[in-house]
């Protein structure tokens, strides 16, 4: 079974993802799409990529949200409908698996597909898609998964928020290297995609695999820059910064602890010190990501 994430975490990270993704790369994707594009969103979770990308397109479009978790897809419908209502868009539901968001530029048709992404792309309806998109997925997959995807696609492939290994917390702490080493080892464990997860190698492996198939590949940074005090552009970021930093600290400590049992005391000390810095609003973090776009040759 592929690794999954809970709704609270997805909700917490959504505004940080939104400010991190590269608008320029998204615009390049949208410029290559037909009048009413059809998106296949892999590992869609609660639908955050749709909520970010669909308004940028600003016209009629169709989405198939693909996830292995039926409960997650049901929650996605609820969240999409609630957010649409907040901005004044009318929402209808022709059936339990279809949602229509009646946006000013044209309706967004949203369907769901429960599928084991470890078996992709063999179990995906690629013939009904104009682009395959994902967010925070491709650092979990294996090299074989990426190579199969590149071999199968003749349409654009867009992968946002892939970790690239550039990360750190400030101010420095003596156990930073130990925690980072354990965290990197944990990133590479098998996440259910048929081999070691790519982790920070994901951007380079994807670029290599798609370029070998004749795609034009471009990537841009999409880092999380999190500060407990000041310098944040949106109220929701300011309101959630301390909680987000705490979750990053806890996640790094848990992952490092799984890989470094002998360093438990030092890792626990690092975690306690970092959480104390969050409480004092002294901690900041940079978690490096890259967005990648692979465009097939024009027909």
pLDDT tens digits, 127-183: 999 999 999 999 999 999 999 999 999 999 999 999 999 999 999 999 999 999 999
Distance CA(38)–CA(35), nearest Å, equals: 10
92 contacts 102 by C-beta, under 8 angstroms:
yes
Other Cβ atoms within 10 Å of 289 Cβ, number: 28
Provide the CATH topology of domain 7-295: Rossmann fold (3.40.50)
Predicted pLDDT of residue 3: 56
Instruction: Label residue 236 by pLDDT band (50, 70, 90).
Output: confident
Coil, strand or helix at 183: helix
Helix (H) or strand (E) holding 145: helix 143-152
Q: In this structure, how many other beta carbons lie within 10 angstroms of the beta carbon of residue 149?
A: 25
The DSSP element (H or E) to which 248 belongs, if any, is helix 235-259
The pLDDT tens digits of the residues spanning 109-143 come to 999 999 999 999 999 999 999 999 999 999 999 99
Beta pairing partners, 95: 98
What is the token pair recorded at 273? 């010190």
């Amino acid at each position: 079974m592929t690794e999954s994430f809970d709704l609270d975490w997805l909700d917490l990270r959504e505004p940080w993802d939104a400010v991190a993704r590269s608008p320029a790369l998204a615009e390049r994707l949208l410029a290559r799409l037909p009048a009413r594009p059809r998106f296949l969103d892999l590992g869609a979770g609660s639908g955050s990529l749709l909520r970010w990308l669909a308004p940028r397109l600003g016209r009629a479009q169709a989405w198939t949200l693909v996830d292995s978790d039926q409960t997650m897809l049901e929650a996605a419908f609820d969240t999409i409908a609630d957010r649409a209502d907040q901005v004044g868009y009318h929402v209808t539901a022709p059936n339990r698996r279809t949602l229509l968001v009646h946006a000013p530029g044209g309706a967004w048709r949203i369907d769901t597909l429960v599928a084991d992404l470890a078996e992709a792309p063999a179990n995906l309806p690629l013939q009904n898609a104009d682009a395959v998109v994902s967010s925070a997925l491709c650092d979990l997959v294996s090299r074989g998964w990426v190579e199969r995807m590149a071999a199968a696609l003749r349409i654009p492939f867009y992968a946002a928020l892939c970790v690239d290994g550039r990360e750190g917390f400030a101010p420095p702490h003596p156990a930073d290297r130990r925690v980072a080493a354990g965290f990197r080892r944990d990133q590479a464990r098998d996440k259910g995609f048929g081999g070691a997860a790519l982790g920070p190698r994901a951007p380079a492996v994807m670029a290599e695999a798609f370029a070998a198939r004749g795609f034009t590949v471009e990537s841009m940074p999409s880092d999380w820059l999190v500060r407990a005090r000041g310098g944040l552009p949106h109220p929701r970021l300011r309101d959630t910064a301390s909680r987000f930093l705490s979750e990053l600290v806890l996640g790094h400590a848990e992952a490092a602890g799984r890989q470094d049992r002998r360093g438990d005391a030092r890792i626990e000390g690092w975690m306690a010190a970092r959480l104390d810095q969050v409480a004092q609003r002294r901690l900041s973090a940079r978690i490096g990501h890259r967005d990648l776009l692979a465009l097939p040759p024009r027909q």
